[in-house]
Structure 1
């Protein structure tokens, strides 16, 4: 029996090793997950025809979405197919192929038309605008294994620095003169794209490349609800919708809610001059023949931009709007009484001036990031760095395996032995030990298969952007998926039922080592249930996804009551902001231009008392003049984003969460067109909220979400103090020029090009047009103050005024030279030294200020004439008045 005794112990030890090894294998098996996916390989007979075309003839700005219109005709039985196109981005010589797909179900003998959105990649810039590219669009079987048909569509990349205008009119040749026109402070080049109503996309993202859309002589009533909503969402986010008048006004306006229109037209008349469009010009331009204008009145909430005195033999004279606008969110809807896109106005020399005035409203901000051919590549890699900065992922819980192993030792060692000894059946060890091992091995395998492989961590940072009057808030979310093992994942966003399906895009990594193209392939599926499929995440690494969505704005609109007040010679924004969004708001900052203030956190329903001091009117932003927009080491070029970063992390230097939030916020404010930093200045509320508006779901696995959301809300500030009924106060830091133009066509920005109150005056004249930010003009201007800070644009920074400073007199209809002006610019102590701005402001009081304000439109025109040296001029106009 001795040999049996030792043999039984050998079997027992073998059983321990058996369970330990194969139990470990089970744990590893669970961690690796099941990668096998059954792929049914059904064969169908397809009788489907595809027609594809790029919207807008393929025009888009680098880094923006381009919609492709797809038409499918099914001549046979009901079937399913999918549309596919491949975009390969290249970063540091590494390719990142992204396959954009859209599955489609077709009924028997049916036709379906829809859009697929993608962001094209072009390796070379297209400076001439005449170089186009081809993008293949494929019709594939439902499983994607077989290509049924392929067609190339056109790509026409446009620089983000250009001003892109879509025009719908009866004769495209009549608007060609607008191409290459220069508009706005940056002298942005105008690009005209001729469209037709079929080019209207069904979501605002499709319009994003466009600065303006001009509708002439087209019936807008045929637009679908989705197309109308897309237009309004685009306007809310900063677009400019321009509706032409004349005989075609009824058709052009028929598809829009009358409450959104700036004017109500009640008649049509012919006029023989439109000199009112050139009110501040000495030389009037005659028309070749009379033109028809739509006679109307400005609706409540809109503003006239240009007016015309219409004389009628029966009713006398009346003032009617030639151009009127209604602000919607960050953009506006413009209505003109005449049609500038048809003859004879298309040939009229004054039309160019009219277009320059209108387009300058949103001519955009230039940022160095847009020097890149494809700026979204840089944005993606930067944002991936923020969301990829995440803590360790917890490993699978193996406590149950240790407990099982302990029980096994107890059963195999003492318990099994004692029972067999008591039964005097040690020879049964040949049977009990293998059975015990098999039982415990089976339990170990079962536990390993049902044990979570470890939480997949989703780190997400979102921007919620909302402005007054918006129906939908813009949400941009950036996420990193961090995995404890090699796996393929399916990621989809979770949105409210009322929200439209978002657009998804993988975030590229800025890597320095080669990876095969196949490992980097990403699959983006669009449609009603958008998702990223087969996202290949390596063990202990991360992959990124960005989400762009619109959510109802009402859940993020704050209630506020803010106004300007002067105290002891200083102007403050006072009032209250109430947290009405149902969740706490932390890390709050208030911003006006470059001025920042950190305030306390507020709970749901809590009210924040605001006392925000505006900066002194002679406090210069330390900018400089440059034609190349480069860096000048002599002066501090701190951006608003950098100031926000420093203020947010000031009290949290050792807190990684706040450090990451601060860097993320700075990036948001410095990427230009998609931030709150824009030529229309306002009072911004910035705070962090708890609830994620676009949470991501990963199919089939447990996730550990880590999210941060920043709310960027623009708050309205009243220029009428409710405590002093009827008194109007408009500080210069709130009243920025609506547009600027140069008679020489030369660039006039400074290094702080987001500041429209600064120009580099180099030659000729520069006109800056203001518009009073009041709902109606029924008030008397009692005081107008001009503030000037003017330096020579060299290292010495010597105070130096322009040769001439003029205001346009609307009573005399002529320019008036202002004499004896005081320059608030302090002298610099030497080269490379920031000027001391602690000196008192030297205001220039304007006599009889009413004459310099257009009584119908509230326009104020200020003109500078350049001296021989190059000047850096910062200027501002303060207005005070009373209601009449």
Structure 2
């Protein structure tokens, strides 16, 4: 076979046009590198800038990233700003963050600022500007994005090597990471702490915490953060700035020859012999988890959603150093850093949030009937009526005057109606979601702020300095309408040059921590021979009216109604009488496959005080609330189903209180506000020895172990076609000691005649003894009684169920759940 060699031309030389294109090609390749080098500015003599971001470089997607910038100036004084930008102006999603800074000669400054990434970033450039001139730049190169559900530790210690093993102590998370940071790296805004799950203070002088850092730490703990303060020889400096938070009063140290009880509890001897240095203390508030005689070793105090631990030992010295039980011991702490409920992470669907903030009370379009009447009157006036009047006056030639006059008259009426419809005042609309606990001091708040203007204008907005703000961006975070100048963070936050078009709304996201309303309450779960009963008592001690209050318990919602100031309410329900929402309860304008009770059609009257017409409400305020609730749910376009926290009771309700004070450059404005509260109530349990208990869906938590070919994995409203899914159901901890004497598996068929003859999928149960899936040969729709149930229930009552289907059509399962029977 003849081999054909490539050639440029008969002469073997490349054509001239390629020679002309070669320089252009080189310019295309080299230009970005040249431009990057040109963008790097070393700065004037005597000026140095160093910066690092995140927590030892780690940051989580969808959360604020703190940046620490250190500057030293031995040259002429500088009055400028540190500028950081994210996104790209060409994509209309660039956001510019400015931090003013004053650098006199012979000065050293350290500032903290914050940025929000809408995508993955590993490098970030910072500029120092003097006026409009860039006088120096630096680049942060160590940024690493980790999973949002990863357990992130922050360690403040002089010797970090001894605590690296904590990356393996992950509680109920999928992965873990350890960051080693300095005291000055701790953010001064609570929202900037959200990526951090557990902070360990060891050999660090906490008395050097600034007032803003300490305030931010308090907010972070209330929002679910876990703080560990260690003892040992340096107990005084470790606790210097935190004595009011600790669960104990510290007395001093003592040397002990051994600590046998801790070793016996975990089943591992210490590698190093005593003596050991122990910090002695007296319990003030909290719970002693481990002690040696009368000496507390590990004490926990709960504050809001979070916890503070005092460890009486230094984890870097004996006996904890290199102890084989370290991971098990620290797991007792990691369990407090539970994954927060989905509503605590704020808005997921920006489109719905933007629509919600645009729904303004008092700004409604004229009705269709009014428009038809107007048009009909216009046609009649300019046509038949005008004709007959002029004919009766015998002045038909006046039509050239009356017709234009009528057009002008009706045009003026249209303009006046339009102005009245869109208003004549600037409106600031705040929609907030607040999450906290009744005994907590602060609530974690995310607000969507909409700035409406009836006319084209630009504005400067001022917010408190302890909040973090960014534009609400659409298009899944890769684009957005950033019609603004810069976000300046100094003593206050100033959003410069917000450009609003005619009758348009510009929207921003504000993250903050705010005082909790004064609400008290408790929940009692009573279990006896009569069954399981939930009793909820709640009192509104605040001056706010909690509108359409309700109680969320698992996948059920119980209505209370409006809670006026000073009002108390008590409600009770039998657990077995409650049931989860299904596909027939879901609005047509809801997140597909979510199956959250918060967006179930049957609960609309409880949540909003009225029912919708296929997701539409007549009242703009109610429609806005509906869209805000919808926007909290992440998988509107598919994904894993929403998981409601188990063994938790949450009070839900609305107020008309704004959460953040917003100023608008000396202009009058109207404020509209709505806050959606999620407030967890303390859970008490009254359990007697009970016989013939039934553990059904109200008392289970579930995990999806694995799946294939499933669009929306969920035990509720499961749709499948040629796929499979594996669930693990675990009863609440209260019922894990149940003496099981029976097991049912429920496969609920969707309601309606359409599904009456639907094919049955294959159902299998996990045999804990054999370690294998066992197919149920006689499985049917409805309740399936399981023989030899002991094989399928483990020592804490967990049951695994596998559903598979290989047909050519899709099938739908309304509900999958086990039911346990037994004595407690």
Unaligned runs of 5+ in 1: 1-44, 125-132, 311-317, 396-451, 624-634, 743-749, 754-758, 773-782, 806-826, 845-860
Q: Whole-Å Cα distance in 1 between the matches of residues 553 and 821 of structure 2?
A: 17
Q: Is the 8 A contact 1:689 1:709 kept in 2?
A: yes
Indicate the residue corresponding to 2:560 in structure 1.
599
Tell me whether 1:358 sits opposite 2:357 in the alignment. Answer: no
2:530 aligned with 1:544, yes or no? no
Q: Return the alpha-carbon distance in structure 2 between the equivalents of residues 801 and 687 of structure 1.
A: 41
Distance 1:561 1:159, change over 3 A: closer
Q: What corresponds to 1:639 in structure 2?
A: 596
Secondary structure of 1:102's partner? strand
Which residue of the partner structure matches residue 273 of structure 2? 290
Aligned to 1:504: 469
Q: Name which of structure 1's ranges 560-569 and 541-550 shifts more when overlaid on structure 2.
A: 560-569
- Aligned partners of 2:694, 2:522: CA distance in 1, in Å? 18
- Which TM-score applies when normalising by structure 2? 0.66
Alignment partners' CA distance in 2, 1:594 and 1:504? 33
- Conserved? CA contact 1:330–1:467, under 8 Å: yes
Distance in 2 between residues matched to 1:342 and 1:381, nearest whole Å = 53
Is the CA contact 2:523–2:534 (under 8 Å) kept in the aligned structure 1?
yes
Q: CA offsets, 1:206-235, max 9 Å, x none?
A: 221011112223332332333222222211
Decide whether aligned partners of structure 1 residues 639 and 704 sit closer, same or farther in structure 2, where only a CA change above 3 A counts. Answer: same
Q: 1:321 to 1:878 in 2, by over 3 A?
A: farther
Equivalents in 2 of 1:578, 1:868: separation in Å? 42
1:608 to 562, 568, 580: 568
For residues 374-385 of structure 1, what are the structure 2 equivalents within 5 Å?
Answer: 379-385=349-355
SS in 2 for 1:148: strand
2:453 to 464, 483, 487: 483
1:526 aligns with 2:501: no
1:169-210 deviation digits (Å, cap 9, x = unpaired): 33322233333x26334x421111112223222222222101
- Preserved CA contact (<8 Å) 2:523 2:649: no
1:326-375 per-position Cα deviation (integer Å, ceiling 9, x unaligned) = 111001112234344456644333212223342233242697x99xxxx9
Q: Give 1:114's aligned residue.
A: 111
In structure 2, how many angstroms separate the alpha carbons of the residues matched to 1:514 and 1:65?
18
| Partner residue, 1:683 | 649
Q: Secondary structure at the match of 1:166?
A: strand
Q: Which residue of 1 aligns with 2:298?
A: 323
Structure 2: how far apart are the matches of 1:788 and 1:199? 56
CA contact (8 A) 1:802 1:866 kept: no
Residues 353, 480 of structure 1: alpha-carbon distance in 2 compared, 3 angstrom cutoff: same
Whether contact under 8 Å (1:360, 1:739) holds in the other structure is no
Render the CA deviation track for 1:606-651: whole Å, top value 9, x for unaligned: x23211315229968989xxxxxxxxxxx98622433486442472
- Contact 2:531/2:574, CA 8 A, preserved across alignment: yes
Does residue 1:697 correspond to 2:663, yes or no?
yes
2:550 to 571, 584, 589: 589
Conservation of the 8 A alpha-carbon contact between 2:744 and 2:783: no
Q: 1:71 aligns to what?
A: 70
Paired with 1:788 and 1:246, the residues of 2 have a C-alpha distance of 52
The CA deviation string for residues 61-103 of structure 1, in whole angstroms up to 9 with x for no partner, is: 112112222334455777632111111179xx94410000122
Specify the alignment match of 2:30 in structure 1.
none
Q: Deviations over 1:273-316 (max 9, x none)?
A: 7674684x7xx3332222526264662431133x35x4xxxxxx
Map of 1:42 onto structure 2 = none
Gap regions ≥5 residues in structure 2: 1-43, 366-421, 584-591, 637-641, 706-712, 717-724, 749-759, 771-775, 805-815
Structure 1 residue corresponding to 2:286, chosen from 294, 302, 308 = 302
Once residues 573 and 768 of structure 1 are traced to their aligned partners in structure 2, the CA distance between those partners, rounded to angstroms, is 16
Q: What's 1:569 paired with?
A: 530
Q: Paired residue for 1:398?
A: none
Once the two structures are superposed, the pairs formed by residues 706-785 of structure 1 within 5 Å of their partners are 706-719=672-685, 751=714
Structure 1 counterpart SS, 2:220? helix
Counterpart selection for 1:659 from 623, 642, 666: 623
Question: Which region of structure 1 is more displaced relative to structure 2, 677-686 or 482-491?
Answer: 677-686
Question: Aligned equivalents of 1:865 and 1:468: distance in 2?
Answer: 32
Cα-to-partner distance string for 1:561-608 (whole Å, 9 max, x where unaligned): 654556992544446433222132211111222221112213223x23
Does 1:463 find its partner at 2:433?
yes
- From 148, 152, 172, the equivalent of 2:160 is 172
Deviation for aligned residue 1:800 = 6.0
**Residue aligning to 2:722:** none
Shift of 1:836: 5.9
Number of the residue aligned with 1:150: 137
Matched with 2:719 is none
> Cα RMSD between the aligned structures?
5.2
Cα–Cα, structure 1 residues 489 and 559, in superposed 2: closer, same or farther, change >3 Å?
A: same
Aligned 1:160-199 pairs, distance under 5 A: 160-179=148-167, 181=168, 183-185=170-172, 187-199=173-185
Alignment of 1:52-67 (within 5 A): 52-67=51-66
Do the aligned residues in 1 keep the contact of 2:764 with 2:803 (CA within 8 Å)? no
Q: 1:104 aligns with which of 101, 106, 114?
A: 101
Tell me the secondary structure at the aligned position of residue 174 of structure 1.
helix
The offset of 1:148, in angstroms, is 1.7
The answer on whether the counterparts of 1:793 and 1:870 sit within 8 Å (CA) in structure 2 is no
Q: Which has the higher contact order (CA 8 A, sep 6+)?
A: 1
Partner of residue 190, structure 2 = 204
Residues 668, 459 of structure 1: CA spacing in aligned structure 2 closer, same or farther, 3 A cutoff? Answer: same
Q: 1:639 to 1:521 in 2, by over 3 A?
A: same
Name the counterpart of 2:34: none
What is the correspondence of 1:21-420 to structure 2 with a 5 Å cutoff?
50-73=49-72, 80-88=79-87, 94-105=91-102, 110-123=107-120, 133-141=122-130, 143=131, 145-154=132-141, 155-179=143-167, 181=168, 183-185=170-172, 187-258=173-244, 260-262=246-248, 264=250, 267-270=253-256, 276=262, 279=265, 284-290=267-273, 292=276, 294=278, 296=280, 299-305=283-289, 307-308=290-291, 310=292, 318=293, 320-342=295-317, 345-364=320-339, 379-390=349-360
Q: Is the 8 A contact 1:561 1:575 kept in 2?
A: yes
Match runs of 1:833-852 below 5 Å: none
Change (3 A) 1:575 1:751: closer
CA distance in 1, matches of 2:237, 2:698: 36
- What is the Cα deviation at residue 238 of structure 1? 0.5
Kept in 2: contact 1:287–1:348 (CA 8 A): yes
Distance 1:275 1:89 in 2: 59
Q: Give secondary structure in 1 for the equivalent of 2:335.
A: helix
1:118-149 CA distances to partner (integer Å, 9 max, x unpaired)? 1134447xxxxxxxx221111112x4x11121
**Contact conserved, 1:761 with 1:873, CA < 8 A, in 2?**
no
Whether the 8 Å CA contact 1:268–1:293 is kept in 2: the answer is yes
Deviations 1:2-45 (A, max 9, x none): xxxxxxxxxxxxxxxxxxxxxxxxxxxxxxxxxxxxxxxxxxx9
